Amino acid sequence: MNLSTKVGSFALSNPFIAASGTYGYGTEYGDLSPAKEWGAVILKSVSKNPRPGNVPPRCCETDSGMINSIGLANVGLEKYMAEKLPAFASANPDAVCIASLAGETLDEFLHLAEKLSGNSTIKAFELNISCPNVAKGGMHFGADCSASRQLVQEVKKISSVPVWVKVTPSTTDPVGVASVCAEAGADAVVATNTIPAMKIDITRCRPALGNTFGGLSGPAIFPASLRIAYMIHRALPQLPLIGCGGVDCGEKAVQYILAGCSAVEIGTATFRRPDTLAEVKQFLKDYMEKMGFKTVEDFRGLAAR
Ligand SMILES: Cc1cc2nc3c(=O)[nH]c(=O)nc-3n(C[C@H](O)[C@H](O)[C@H](O)COP(=O)(O)O)c2cc1C
């Protein structure tokens, strides 16, 4: 069974992509979930300077998912380039690596894109304009159409690799944001990121997270993220689209493809079951065989017609 797919002109051996922030710098999982088995892996979002992240606790469980307020903790661009990318490349010579860029300002995004353009390990950029856990940049950027347009246009001018944009579910007009990104030249849109949420610890009588609010991920967000992906595909059928949010089994991945996505990111599910990728791949093969589909393209978007 041929599981290969294309996101625009970007070819992947299979539609499954490890979501940023849930696969570290691509070496931590080792043999538990080898990078080369994924269609691609997206490393933890990188910012210009190192970020310590938010005060702990940074994660808590909820029904059918988790809330995180990591706050884009990361090693910063210098260490990323000097240590993390070479370590990834030597541990995973056959894997496809995508860099997730997180700037607080347009200039920071451009700095990241400029420095990482031409790095042979990076095959695409994902612009994280949808993180709910940081005071600047992130979601505040992504909910603003004119800021998104300018960002994508400027990054495209200096990028030597495809530019994907991860849009936020926290806007009343996700289709509008996706449309602006497409007009600005985005090679694909990723729908979507975590949904703002909170939990209260009734013993401490305080919010459970040090940052009070965080981003909800996991199965709880699947129906909401799927709806946004579907709406974007209906409005912009030519725009390469990647589904993200809540996939913990092959059946949900297939739903994203039927909604119009060429690939599907998986994050939180891998924390619970590092073998999630093997299960979703097997499900996809069995589904395609049962339904008589030869390729992913044969059924992509069928539910949106
Ligand atoms: C612990 C954690 C850290 C995350 N860090 C990032 C990040 O650095 N950049 C980013 O774009 N998304 C980040 N995300 C969001 C995921 O990439 C993904 O969009 C989200 O979790 C929804 O997918 P899922 O339900 O399959 O986990 C993070 C998610 C979690 C759970």
Q: What residues are labeled active site?
A: 131
217 Cα to the center of ligand 1, angstroms = 7
**Residue 216 binned pLDDT confidence (cut-offs 50, 70, 90):** very high
Regarding the beta carbon of 58 and ligand 1, being less than 6 Å apart is answered: no
> Before 22, cis peptide (omega within 30)?
no
Neighbours of 114 (CB within 10 A): 12
Site to substitute for ligand 1 among 16, 17, 20, 112, most atoms within 8 A of C-beta: 20
Using left for φ > 0, alpha for ψ between -120 and 50, and beta otherwise, residue 38 falls in beta
Per-residue pLDDT, 140? 67
Q: Terminus-to-terminus CA distance in the chain, angstroms?
A: 25
Asked whether 71 lines ligand 1 (CB < 6 A), one says no
Of all residues in the chain, the percent with pLDDT exceeding 70 is 97
Provide the pLDDT for residue 214.
96
The band of 115, judged by pLDDT with boundaries at 50, 70 and 90, is very high
Instruction: Compute the average pLDDT of residues 34-41.
Output: 98
The predicted model gives 139-159 an average pLDDT of 88
Atom of ligand 1 nearest to the CA of 21: 5
Ligand 1 atom at minimal distance to the Cα of residue 225: 22
**Cα–Cα distance, 239 to 134 (Å, whole number):** 28
pLDDT at residue 141, rounded to an integer: 72
Phi, psi (rounded to 5 degrees) for 53: 90, -175
Closest CA to 180 of 141, 140, 153: 153
pLDDT tens-digit profile of 66-97? 999 999 999 999 999 999 999 999 999 999 99
Q: Is the pLDDT of residue 131 over 80?
A: no
**Which residues sit opposite 215 in a β-bridge?**
68, 196
Share above pLDDT 90 across residues of the chain, in percent, rounded to a whole number: 92
Give the chain's mean pLDDT.
95
**Dist. CA 137–CA 135, nearest whole Å:** 7
DSSP state of 297: G
Ligand 1 near 68 CB (within 6 A): yes
Closest residue by Cα to atom 29, ligand 1, is 21
Q: What is the mean pLDDT of residues 211-219?
A: 97
Q: Whose CA is nearest to atom 7 of ligand 1?
A: 21
CB 241 within 8 A of CB 233: yes
Question: Which residues does residue 126 pair with via DSSP β-bridges, in sequence order?
Answer: 100, 164
Summarised one tens digit per residue, pLDDT across range 25-36 is 999 999 999 999
Q: Is residue 235 very low, low, confident or very high in pLDDT (cuts 50, 70, 90)?
A: very high
Asked whether residue 133 carries a pLDDT value surpassing 70, the answer given is no
Q: Please tell me the predicted confidence (pLDDT) of residue 144.
A: 82
- Would you say residue 64 has pLDDT above 70? yes
Q: Judging by DSSP bridges, how do beta strands 65-68 and 59-62 pair with one another?
A: antiparallel
C-alpha of residue 155 to centroid of ligand 1, in Å: 22
Average pLDDT over residues 212-235: 98
Tell which atom from ligand 1 comes closest to the C-alpha of 219. Answer: 25
Domain ranges for the chain: 5-54+72-196+217-304
Cis geometry, peptide bond prior to residue 57 (ω within 30 degrees of 0): yes
Tell me, using a 6 A CB cutoff, whether residue 45 lines ligand 1: yes
CA of 296 to the centre of ligand 1 (A): 25
Q: What does the pLDDT read at residue 101?
A: 97
Please determine, looking at this structure, whether the domain spanning 5-54+72-196+217-304 carries the CATH number 3.20.20.70.
yes
Atom of ligand 1 nearest to the CA of 192: 19
Taking the C-alpha atoms of residue 22 and residue 42, their distance in angstroms, rounded to an integer, is 9
pLDDT range class, residue 13, cuts 50, 70, 90: very high
* Cα 291 to middle of ligand 1, angstroms: 32
Contact predicate 295/268, CB 8 Å: no
